[in-house]
Structure 1
Amino acid sequence: MTRLLVLWCPDWPVVAAGTAAGLAVDAPAVVVSANQVVVANAQARRDGVRPGLRRREAQGRCPDIAVLQADVDRDARLFEPVAAAVEELAVGVEVVAPGVVAVPARGPSGYYGSEEAAAERLIDQVAIRTGAEAQVGVADGLFAATLAAHRGLIVPPDGSAAFLAPLDVRELPDRPDLVDLLRRLGIPTLGAFAALPHTDVTSRFGADAGHAHRLASGLEQRPPSRRRPPVDLSVTHIPDPPIDRVDAAAFASRTLGERLHSVLAAHGLACTRLAIHASTANGEDLVRLWRCADPLTPSGISDRVRWQLDGWLRGSNRPSAGITLLRLEPEETVDGHALQLELWQGGEQTSRAARAMVHVQGLLGQEGVLTPTLSGGRGPADQVTLTPWGDEQTPESPPDHPWPGRLPSPAPATIPTQRKPATVLDRDGGEVGVTGRFTLTGQPDEVAVDGTSRRVIAWAGPWPADERWWEKDNGRRRARLQVLLAEQSEVENQDALLLVRENEKWSVEGVYD
C-alpha cells in the first residue's frame, strides 16, 4: 500500500469564504447550507457552535458570528494557491478535495531527511506562501493518512490498522446511514467494524459497506486491481477563441467531462485519478492531478475541471494568456462495473429523447414526465422513487441497505396506483388473517377481488414488515402474501397476486406476469 503524506487545512470552507468576504482571521464564522451549519471555525466552536445546528441557534449561541454561504466552486478556486505551494516542494501532488492534498511520502521524506522534517517544511511553506494554517499526517493509505492529518500524527509503517482501530465509526466518510446502523448494533469503533468478516459485511449490508469495511481495516477502499489505461483514452479540446473567462471554462468543462466519460465507458472503465492539462497562447503548461475515492461520474469530472480552470484563471498566479488547449488524462481507472451507465445517458438518440421529454414537460407541466430511480424499501412500491425529468435523481431511501422483511425476487410486473380490496378465505369459508407474531390464521384456499372469487392453488409467505416499531405514532405493521390463482375459464390464464395485510385488511399490492 502506498505511504502518503496528506496536508489538511482545517475548516477550509470557512477560511475560503472568509477570505472572499474580507473577514478577519480571528472572527467567529460558520458556513451554512439550507440554513444549517456545515462547518464552524475554532472561534465559533468555543462558543458552542457545532455543525448540524440551525442558523438561528448558532446566532443565539454566538451573536457576533459571521454567517457565510456554502460554495464549493469558491472553495476549490481559493485552494489552488495552497496546492501550488505544496507542489513547489513535492512532486506528485494530488488534490483530494478543496482543503486536502496528498503526495507520496517517499520523495519529501527522503529529500528532507525524515517524514517529520518534511511535514514541518510543508506546513511552513503553506503558511508563508498563502497564510493558511495546515496540519500534516502520514500513514499507509489515503483514508488513514487523512485522519492522521486531522490529528497531526505520523503513523508508523504498517500501523494504519492499529491507528484506526480505536477511532469512532463516525470517521467513515459520507456514510451516515451505515454509521447510525453500526452504532445501533453495538459497533462503535472502526476496530470493532474491521473485526467482522468481510464477506458477512458485504452480504448483510451491501457492496458500499464492504468498501467501508476495507477502509476501517486499514486497506484501500478497493482491492489493488487498478491499472494505468492506454494513452489514447485521453480527450483533448482546442477552444476557439482561447478560454480566458470563467463562464467559457464552465462550458468547456461540461463538454470535456462528458466526452471523457463516454470514452472510458466504451472501454468498460471509470476514472479515479484525473490529470488536467492546460496550455496557453504564451506556451505556459499547467497540470493538476485530482484523486477521488469513488469512480468519477460525468458531473464529477466536469466539476473538477471547472474548479481547476476557475482556480487557474482567477488565482493569484493566473496565466499570462488564454488557454488554447485542454487535455484530460485518466491516470487511474477501475473496472466498469464500479460505475454503470444510466438508461438516459450519452449518444445522439439519447439527446433527441431528452429534448422530446423537455417538450412534453412544457405541455403537461414539470410533473408530467417522471424518471424512476432505484430506491430502498421492503415493498415493491417503496423501491422506486419518481422524480420530475431533469431534476436530480435522489432515492428516498438507500437501495443498498439490507431492508429486513424485503419481498424476495421476482418483483411484481404491475403495481396498481390504487389498491383493490381483497378477501382471503380458508376451506371453511372463514377469513384468513395474520397474528401478532406474523403467522397466518388459516390455509389460504380462495381469494376474492372485485366480487370475483378464485381458488388458490399455491401460496408463499407471509413476509412480515414491522417498521419503526419503537415509535408509537409512526410505526407500521404489514404482512405480504404471494398467491397463485387457478384459471377461471379456458380463455383466462393463471394469475399470481401479491397481497398485503395492513390494519386487518387485505389488498392487492402487485400483479405478476
Structure 2
Amino acid sequence: MNTAPTDIAPERSRTLVIWCPDWPAVAGARQAGKSPSEPVAVFHANRVQTCNRAARSEGIGVGQRRRDAQSRYPDLLVLKADPDRDARLFEPVVAAVESVAPGVEILRPGLVACSSRGPTRFFGSETEAAERIVDLVEALDVECSVGIADSLAVAVLAARQVKIVSRGGSATFCAGLPIVELARDPAIAPPERMDLIDLLIRLGIHTAGAFAALPDAKVATRFGADAVVAHRLAKGEAERGLSRRSIPEELAVEQPFDPPLERVDSAAFAAKALAERFHARLGDAGLACTRLAISATTDRGGHLSRIWRCARPLTPAATADRLRWQLDGWLTAGRTRQRTEDDDDTGPGGITSLRLEPIEAIGAGLVQYGLWGSDGQDDQRAGWAFARVQGLLGPQSVLTPVLSGGRGPGERITLLPWGEEKVPARDPSAPWPGALPAPTPSRLAGPDTTVTMLDDLGSPVVVTDRGMLSGAPSRLHGKAVDPCWIQSWAGPWLLDERWWTARPEIIQPPAPSPARAEYRPAPGDLDYRKPRSPRPEEPVGTGISAPARHSARLQVLPDTGPALLLLFGVDGWQVEGVYD
C-alpha cells in the first residue's frame, strides 16, 4: 500500500493570556471590605501607582501626587502598595481560570497565561473560549480582558488591547503599537527597557513597526541584548530559545513538615529556607531558573500545584517571594483552613510537604547581571552578610541611602534599614524653594567644622539681613580646613525655614576674629545677640520641637584643595560639604 508523504507540520499551540487591569486596586479594595466600583488608588512614594476605572473617571491618573488625587475626589480610598496582598488575593482568580484551562501559569499577580488549545477545543472557538473565561473571572467581581496570539509576549500585548491576533498576524498587530507598549508590562520587559524606549523616542522611533524595520545586526551592536529581545517582539516573533538545557530531576527540592503548615508566618519562614536550598542546587549545576513549579501536599490527601513564569532568571529572594505568595494564597483563600470541631473535612487541610521544581532553565553563564561582568554572586554574598549583621545587631545596624527631598545635601538623603522598601521621607520630585543648585557636594563634612572667613581687611565676613555678604571673601581658616586664600565664590543662598516656630532666646554670637577684639555688627548686619520676637499669630506651647533656622549657603573655591560648601548660621560659618 502506497502512503503519500506528509509535509504538514503540526500547528503550534497558541497562547491565551488573561489580564486583570488595575489588580492592585481591586485587591486592596477587597481587603478593605470596599466595593471595587468605588474610586480606589494605590500609592507608592506618595504617588499613584494604580487606580481603578472609577478613580480615572474622577480625573485621577497614574503618577499623580496624593494631594492632587484627593483634591479631585476627597472620598478616594487611599491604599499602600502591597505585593503580598496582591498575590495572596489573586489565587481564587487563578483557580477559576484553571477550572476550564489546564496548565495555567502565573506571570505576575493580575496576569496569567495558558495554552489556548484546550479551551478552544472544548468551547469550539477561540472567541467562545475567551468569552467563557471572561464570564468566569467577572463572576468573582473582577474585571478582565483576554488576548490570544502565537507567542506569549504578543499575547500579553494583545490582552492589553483586548484582541485575538490571527494566526501568523503577530507582525501586523505589533507594527501599529506605540513603541512604549514594548516596555509597558513587567511580565515581558525588565525595568531597564524603559531606558531603551526613551532613547528610541529621542531618535524619532515612535512605533513598534519603525523599530522592527531596523536591521537586526545594528540593533544588537548598538543597543544591547535586551534590545534584541524587544526587537523580536516588535517584529511579532516568538521568544528565542536561550540554550535551554535538560534539567536533571535531582535539582527539585522537597521539604516535609510535621506538624503541617497552617499559619502564614510559619510558611514564610519555610519559604526562605527552601528557596536557598533550591538555588544552591541550581548554582552547582550551572543553571538559572525561568519557570518554577510550586507543589504542595496536604494532610487530607490533596495536591496543589502552580507554575510561575518570570521575564528574568529567578534569584533566591524572588523565588522566596513567589513561594511565600503562593502559600499565603493557599492558606488564606479557603483552600486550606484550620480545622475546627464543626469542620466537615471537605477542605484540603494543612500542608505536609512542599516541592520546588525547575520547569525551564538556562545556563547561568548566559545571565548578565552587571555592566562590568559581575555574575551577581558578590551582591548575593553581600546580602547574606548584611542580613547576618542585622540579625545580630538589629535592623538599624545596616542602612541604605535613598534619594529624598530637601534643600541641603544632608536633607536629601534618607537612611533606611537594608532590605526595607526604599521609600524616601520626602518627595524628591516636589518643589523645594531655596534648594541648593546643582552640583551637589560629593561628600558631607563631619562634625565640628567651624571656620572663619575674612575679607581683604581682615574683618569677618557675615550675611546681612538683605541677603548680601558684608565683604568680599578673601581668606579662610579653621579646624576643618587649612589656612587658604579664596579664589572665587558663588552665593549666598538664603534659607528662612520654620520661621513660625521661633522662640525668644539668646543666641551666642560667633567667636571674634584676631582682627577684632569684639564683634560689633555693622549697620544692616544680622545681630545674633538680639532675640527674634515671635509673630503675634504664632501659637505658644504647641509642643513643636524643631526650632526656626535662618541661614545661608555659600560655595567657595580655595587656592588649595577641593571646592567647599559653607553654611552660615547662628554659629558662624561651617563646612557642610566637599566637592571632591
Q: How far, CA to CA, are the matches of 1:20 and 1:290 in structure 2? A: 24
What is the CA-CA distance between 1:10 and the residue it aligns to? Answer: 1.7
Query: What is the aligned residue count?
Result: 381
Preserved CA contact (<8 Å) 2:49 2:62: yes
Q: Secondary structure at the match of 2:276?
A: helix
Number of the residue aligned with 1:133: 143
Q: How far, CA to CA, are the matches of 1:35 and 1:141 in structure 2? A: 37
Q: How does 1:295-314 map to 2 (within 5 A)?
A: 295-314=313-332
Preserved CA contact (<8 Å) 1:265 1:341: no
Q: How far, CA to CA, are the matches of 2:287 and 2:421 in structure 1? A: 23
Counterpart pick for 1:167 among 173, 177, 184: 177
Counterpart pick for 1:334 among 343, 354, 362: 362
Q: How far, CA to CA, are the matches of 1:57 and 1:354 in structure 2? A: 39
Preserved CA contact (<8 Å) 2:261 2:350: yes
Q: How far, CA to CA, are the matches of 2:136 and 2:389 in structure 1? A: 53
Q: TM-score normalized by structure 2?
A: 0.61
Preserved CA contact (<8 Å) 1:238 1:326: yes
Specify which structure has the higher proportion of helix: 1
What is the CA-CA distance between 1:117 and the residue it aligns to? Answer: 0.9
State the AA in 2 paired with 1:342. Answer: Q
Number of the residue aligned with 1:118: 129
State the AA in 1 paired with 2:181. Answer: E
Q: How far, CA to CA, are the matches of 2:23 and 2:383 in structure 1? A: 39
Tell me, yes or no, if structure 1 residue 45 matches structure 2 residue 74.
Answer: no
Q: How far, CA to CA, are the matches of 1:256 and 1:239 in structure 2? A: 12
Counterpart pick for 1:207 among 208, 225, 231: 225
State the AA in 2 paired with 1:259. Answer: R
What is the CA-CA distance between 1:127 and the residue it aligns to? Answer: 2.5
Number of the residue aligned with 1:147: 157
Preserved CA contact (<8 Å) 1:279 1:324: yes
Task: Mark the CA change 1:390 to 1:58 in structure 2 (over 3 Å): closer, same or farther.
Answer: closer
Q: Secondary structure at the match of 1:179?
A: helix
Tell me, yes or no, if structure 1 residue 244 matches structure 2 residue 262.
Answer: yes
Q: How far, CA to CA, are the matches of 1:22 and 1:279 in structure 2? A: 31
Number of the residue aligned with 2:310: 292
Q: How far, CA to CA, are the matches of 1:507 and 1:160 in structure 2? A: 62
Number of the residue aligned with 1:217: 235
Task: Mark the CA change 1:151 to 1:247 in structure 2 (over 3 Å): closer, same or farther.
Answer: same
Counterpart pick for 1:262 among 280, 297, 301: 280
Task: Mark the CA change 1:507 to 1:92 in structure 2 (over 3 Å): closer, same or farther.
Answer: farther
Larger Rg: 2
Task: Mark the CA change 1:388 to 1:20 in structure 2 (over 3 Å): closer, same or farther.
Answer: closer
Task: Mark the CA change 1:113 to 1:338 in structure 2 (over 3 Å): closer, same or farther.
Answer: same
Q: Secondary structure at the match of 2:75?
A: coil
Q: Secondary structure at the match of 1:242?
A: strand
Counterpart pick for 2:334 among 310, 316, 325: 316
Q: TM-score normalized by structure 1?
A: 0.68
Q: How does 1:176-191 map to 2 (within 5 A)?
A: 176-191=194-209
Q: Secondary structure at the match of 1:107?
A: helix
Task: Mark the CA change 1:219 to 1:293 in structure 2 (over 3 Å): closer, same or farther.
Answer: farther
Q: How far, CA to CA, are the matches of 1:331 and 1:230 in structure 2? A: 10
What is the CA-CA distance between 1:200 and the residue it aligns to? Answer: 2.0
Q: How far, CA to CA, are the matches of 2:167 and 2:126 in structure 1? A: 11
Q: How far, CA to CA, are the matches of 1:299 and 1:360 in structure 2? A: 20
What is the CA-CA distance between 1:34 and the residue it aligns to? Answer: 1.3
Tell me, yes or no, if structure 1 residue 273 matches structure 2 residue 291.
Answer: yes
What is the CA-CA distance between 1:250 and the residue it aligns to? Answer: 0.7
Preserved CA contact (<8 Å) 2:389 2:398: no
State the AA in 1 paired with 2:356. Answer: L
Q: How far, CA to CA, are the matches of 1:366 and 1:112 in structure 2? A: 57
Tell me, yes or no, if structure 1 residue 230 matches structure 2 residue 230.
Answer: no
Task: Mark the CA change 1:239 to 1:417 in structure 2 (over 3 Å): closer, same or farther.
Answer: same
Preserved CA contact (<8 Å) 2:389 2:397: no
State the AA in 2 paired with 1:345. Answer: Q
Tell me, yes or no, if structure 1 residue 60 matches structure 2 residue 71.
Answer: yes
Q: Secondary structure at the match of 1:251?
A: helix
Task: Mark the CA change 1:301 to 1:202 in structure 2 (over 3 Å): closer, same or farther.
Answer: same
Task: Mark the CA change 1:244 to 1:359 in structure 2 (over 3 Å): closer, same or farther.
Answer: closer
| Residue-by-residue CA offset, 1:167-210 (whole Å, 9 max, x unaligned) | 11211233322221111111111111122223322322222222
Q: How far, CA to CA, are the matches of 2:50 and 2:211 in structure 1? A: 27
State the AA in 1 paired with 2:377. Answer: E
Preserved CA contact (<8 Å) 1:357 1:389: no
State the AA in 1 paired with 2:349. Answer: A
Q: Secondary structure at the match of 1:161?
A: helix
What is the CA-CA distance between 1:14 and the residue it aligns to? Answer: 0.8
What is the CA-CA distance between 1:166 and the residue it aligns to? Answer: 1.3
Q: Secondary structure at the match of 2:93?
A: helix
Task: Mark the CA change 1:343 to 1:106 in structure 2 (over 3 Å): closer, same or farther.
Answer: same
Task: Mark the CA change 1:103 to 1:201 in structure 2 (over 3 Å): closer, same or farther.
Answer: same
Q: Secondary structure at the match of 1:53?
A: coil
What is the CA-CA distance between 1:57 and the residue it aligns to? Answer: 0.9
Q: How far, CA to CA, are the matches of 1:266 and 1:185 in structure 2? A: 44
- Structure 1 gap ranges (5+): 372-386, 395-415, 419-502, 509-513
Number of the residue aligned with 2:428: none
- Structure 2 gap ranges (5+): 1-11, 184-190, 337-346, 369-374, 402-414, 423-441, 445-556, 563-580
Q: Secondary structure at the match of 1:240?
A: strand
Task: Mark the CA change 1:360 to 1:15 in structure 2 (over 3 Å): closer, same or farther.
Answer: closer
State the AA in 1 paired with 2:138. Answer: A
What is the CA-CA distance between 1:135 and the residue it aligns to? Answer: 1.1
State the AA in 1 paired with 2:222. Answer: R
Identity of aligned residues (%): 49
Preserved CA contact (<8 Å) 1:81 1:316: no
Preserved CA contact (<8 Å) 1:49 1:58: yes
Q: How far, CA to CA, are the matches of 1:17 and 1:3 in structure 2? A: 33
Task: Mark the CA change 1:76 to 1:313 in structure 2 (over 3 Å): closer, same or farther.
Answer: same
| Residue-by-residue CA offset, 1:461-485 (whole Å, 9 max, x unaligned) | xxxxxxxxxxxxxxxxxxxxxxxxx
Counterpart pick for 1:16 among 7, 27, 42: 27
Q: Secondary structure at the match of 1:58?
A: helix
Q: How far, CA to CA, are the matches of 1:108 and 1:267 in structure 2? A: 37
Preserved CA contact (<8 Å) 1:94 1:289: yes
Task: Provide the alpha-carbon RMSD of the alignment.
Answer: 3.1
Q: How far, CA to CA, are the matches of 1:388 and 1:69 in structure 2? A: 18
Number of the residue aligned with 1:325: 353
Q: How far, CA to CA, are the matches of 2:219 and 2:393 in structure 1? A: 43
| Residue-by-residue CA offset, 1:235-269 (whole Å, 9 max, x unaligned) | 11112322110101111111111111121121111
Q: Secondary structure at the match of 2:265?
A: helix
Tell me, yes or no, if structure 1 residue 83 matches structure 2 residue 94.
Answer: yes
Q: Secondary structure at the match of 1:238?
A: strand
Q: Secondary structure at the match of 1:289?
A: strand
Number of the residue aligned with 2:576: none
